[in-house]
């Protein structure tokens, strides 16, 4: 007996078509893919939790991605193997309802920025990710936190964080246009427009162009 395919409401597709840069065909493919990926990563998370705990069974949300599932998704599908501090920020960007779960519409809306976003959308996205406390600035302390794991530290170093502080100072000299020791959105945007490599200056939070293209090409073949 064949399985009944889930029906995707036309108004759901229409709304996402208006809110994102995906075609309607791509949205239908993403809806199908979402259900498949949630089932796959949900099963993996359940197995992982069961292996670690014999006391209590933790229920994995089946309606979307939780933090652990989403981190696995970013690593496996997009090659984003960044620090947990950044994957948590990416999760929060997708989780617009702020309920700890990335639902289908949130997933598709977020992917629109990562995969098809304009330069302005991608700059706003990366700035949001790096603004760890959501105060509208990327502070010197936040830059330090983001960069401290990027440099190789040697055991013989008297002050292993000295190199990080020097790098932070270099970054601020280059990007802090108004010299207030923190980066406003205008500082960040101006710097990225001048030099596009600065878009992910403080850690990877976007898939590569090749991975993005491969992911988009695979959407229409989802059954």
Q: What is the pLDDT of residue 156?
A: 61
What is the pTM assigned to this prediction?
A: 0.87
- Say if 34 falls within a structural domain: yes
Residues 68 and 135 in one domain: no
Q: What is the pLDDT of residue 49?
A: 44
How many domains are there within the chain?
2
Residues 110 and 15 in one domain: yes
Between 6 and 132, name the one with better pLDDT. Answer: 132
The predicted model gives 146-168 an average pLDDT of 77
Best CA proximity match to 173, nearest among 141, 146, 197, 140? 140
Residues 174 and 86 in one domain: no
- Say if 32 falls within a structural domain: yes
Residues 87 and 138 in one domain: no
Residues 97 and 141 in one domain: no
Instruction: Say if residues 168 and 162 touch (Cβ distance below 8 Å).
Output: no
Domain encompassing residue 14: 10-117
Residues 48 and 25 in one domain: yes
CA pair distance 81, 87, nearest whole angstrom: 8
CA pair distance 73, 92, nearest whole angstrom: 15
Best CA proximity match to 209, nearest among 116, 147, 87? 116
- Say if 4 falls within a structural domain: no
- Is the pLDDT at 47 greater than 90? The verdict is no
Instruction: Say if residues 106 and 90 touch (Cβ distance below 8 Å).
Output: no
Residues 22 and 54 in one domain: yes
Q: Angle 119-130/140-147 helices, nearest 10 degrees?
A: 90
Residues 143 and 188 in one domain: yes
Residues 37 and 104 in one domain: yes
């Amino acid at each position: 007996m064949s399985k009944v395919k889930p029906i995707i409401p036309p108004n759901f597709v229409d709304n996402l078509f208006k809110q994102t840069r995906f075609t309607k065909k791509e949205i239908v493919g993403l809806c199908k893919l979402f259900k498949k990926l949630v089932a796959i990563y949900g099963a993996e998370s359940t197995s992982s939790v069961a292996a670690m705990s014999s006391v209590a069974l933790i229920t994995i949300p089946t309606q979307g991605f939780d933090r652990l599932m989403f981190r696995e998704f970013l690593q496996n599908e997009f090659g984003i193997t960044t620090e947990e501090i950044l994957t948590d920020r990416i999760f929060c960007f997708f989780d617009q309802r702020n309920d700890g779960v990335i639902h289908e519409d949130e997933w598709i809306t977020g992917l629109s920025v990562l995969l098809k976003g304009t330069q302005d959308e991608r700059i706003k996205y990366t700035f949001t990710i790096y603004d760890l406390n959501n105060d509208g600035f990327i502070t010197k302390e936040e830059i330090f936190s983001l960069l401290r794991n990027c440099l190789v530290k040697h055991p013989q170093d008297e002050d292993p964080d000295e190199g990080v502080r020097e790098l932070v100072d270099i970054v601020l000299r280059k990007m802090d246009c108004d010299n207030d020791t923190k980066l406003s959105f205008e500082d960040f945007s101006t710097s990225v427009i001048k030099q596009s490599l600065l878009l992910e200056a403080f850690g990877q939070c976007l898939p590569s162009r090749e991975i993005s293209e491969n992911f988009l090409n695979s959407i229409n073949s989802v059954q």
